[in-house]
Amino acid sequence: MTAGLLAGAVALAAAGLLGAAGCWLRQRYLTVTVDGESMLPTYRPGERLLVRRVTPAAVRAGQVVVLSGFGQPRPAGARRAPAPDARRGPAWIIKRVAAVPGDPIPRDVAALHQAPGTRVPNGRVVVLGDNPGRSFDSRQSGYVTTDRLLGVVLRRLR
């Protein structure tokens, strides 16, 4: 009887450890699927990416990040941007960080040169798609607030 209790306790402890490890992993990592052409040729539609959740202070220029949608271009004649499709999950986007707080404002981001100052302000980043012709990013919307940052792309998943 004691051997059975011991085996049950060990199994319960192992299940608890596995559950805790799973929670820890979910809090630090997630996967996303590329949907769109804004990051071509770096990432293609349908590719799955491993993302590590980070604080805004950990993000550096040049890194590819996942962030909550900061705006969508409006269809011609529409008063509001289209609502996210709940069946497709959260409205996350993938962009490359061009500048972080304190960096000079990139010259090719005209939308930001109308703002005062020559450096990216605290709490803001500049994000760009690798495929400018198919990307809605800081070139159109200006700065993105750092509270929208979810994580940094680590690699493709196969």
The count of structural domains within the chain is 1
Burial class (CB in 10 A: 0-12, 13-18, 19+), 37: middle
Check residue 106 and report its DSSP letter: P
Tell me, what's the pLDDT at 56?
Answer: 94
pLDDT of 23 > 60? The answer is: no
| Cα–Cα separations (whole angstroms), residue 31 to 27, 71, 88, 102, 149 | 12, 22, 14, 30, 15
Q: Which domain holds residue 56?
A: 29-71+89-157
Tell me, what's the pLDDT at 14?
Answer: 63
pLDDT of 36 > 70? The answer is: yes
User: What's this model's pTM, rounded to 2 decimal places?
Assistant: 0.76
Report the mean per-residue pLDDT for the chain: 83
CATH of residue 146's domain is 2.10.109.10
Tell me, what's the pLDDT at 95?
Answer: 97
Sign of CA dihedral 83, 134, 128, 42: positive
Residue 80 within a domain: no
Q: Which residues pair with 49 in a beta bridge?
A: 32, 156
Q: Which residues pair with 30 in a beta bridge?
A: 51
Q: Which residue has the higher pLDDT, 143 or 90?
A: 143
Tell me, what's the pLDDT at 65?
Answer: 98
Tell me the per-residue pLDDT of 47-96, one tens digit each, with 9 for 90 and over. Answer: 999 999 999 999 999 999 999 987 654 444 434 444 444 445 568 999 99
